[in-house]
Copies of this chain bind each other. A is one copy, B any other.
């Protein structure tokens, strides 16, 4: 019957199967979208029988929702870690933002499919995922907002900035630049992309140095 959903403690075999299903689903859904991806395809790509999908997940939608939650935890964790590391190393808040941009780019280049899928589904007016996605989004944006807030409090950043809007814009800038990089200019290095974004963040676009 329904085992407790906490992964810690479940059998290893089951967990391994779920992992294979996540990986298969994330790439297929990123490529084709949720509706266009069939459960048969997911099962086949994961090398598993169709029945196994339904033994492990209540439905196709549930599989997708758990996938989203799983993925965004990884992202939020790596952003948080980047910010904290900068903190420990005595960097400024702008340094922390810069480190987070890099962490974001690294995440996206490691899990491009998850990012594609996230962007594609986030702003749907569709009621189905909305609640899951709101949570998921908030986790990522909150980390950036936290750093901005501390920067303003400490006088390092202008107190005129609009924290939620600026955080959203920064996340968007990184997200879209990264996807564009992967999709349309894959020959560029991560450093190229990082320094372009860094320059934008630090206002070194206008004025000749």
Which of B34, B170, B176 lies in contact with A36, CB distance below 8 A? B34
Which of B166, B180, B205, B206 lies in contact with A205, CB distance below 8 A? B166
Chain B residues with Cβ under 8 A from A94's Cβ? Answer: 206
Q: Are B204 and A158 in contact (CB-based, < 8 A)?
A: yes
Q: Are A124 and B196 in contact (CB-based, < 8 A)?
A: no
Chain B residues with Cβ under 8 A from A72's Cβ? Answer: none
Q: Are A202 and B206 in contact (CB-based, < 8 A)?
A: yes
CB within 8 Å for A200 and B166 given contacts A120-B123, A172-B180? yes
Using a CB–CB cutoff of 8 Å, the interface residues on chain A facing chain B are 30-36, 94, 116, 119-126, 134, 137, 155-162, 164-166, 168-173, 175-177, 179-185, 188, 192-193, 195-197, 199-209
CB within 8 Å for A123 and B116 given contacts A166-B200, A168-B180? yes
Chain B residues with Cβ under 8 A from A161's Cβ? Answer: 196, 199, 205
Which of B169, B182, B196, B201 lies in contact with A197, CB distance below 8 A? B169
Interface-centre pick from A33, A121, A123, A184 (highest chain B CB count, 10 A): A123
Q: Are A119 and B119 in contact (CB-based, < 8 A)?
A: yes
- A160 to chain B minimum Cβ distance, whole angstroms, is 7
Which of B134, B192, B203 lies in contact with A202, CB distance below 8 A? B203
6 contacts between A and B (CB under 8 A): A30-B124, A35-B35, A169-B177, A170-B173, A172-B172, A200-B201
Q: Are A124 and B31 in contact (CB-based, < 8 A)?
A: yes
CA distance A208 to B205 in the complex (A): 19
CB within 8 Å for A33 and B134 given contacts A172-B175, A205-B203? no
Q: Are A192 and B169 in contact (CB-based, < 8 A)?
A: no
Q: Are A165 and B179 in contact (CB-based, < 8 A)?
A: no
Q: Are A169 and B32 in contact (CB-based, < 8 A)?
A: no
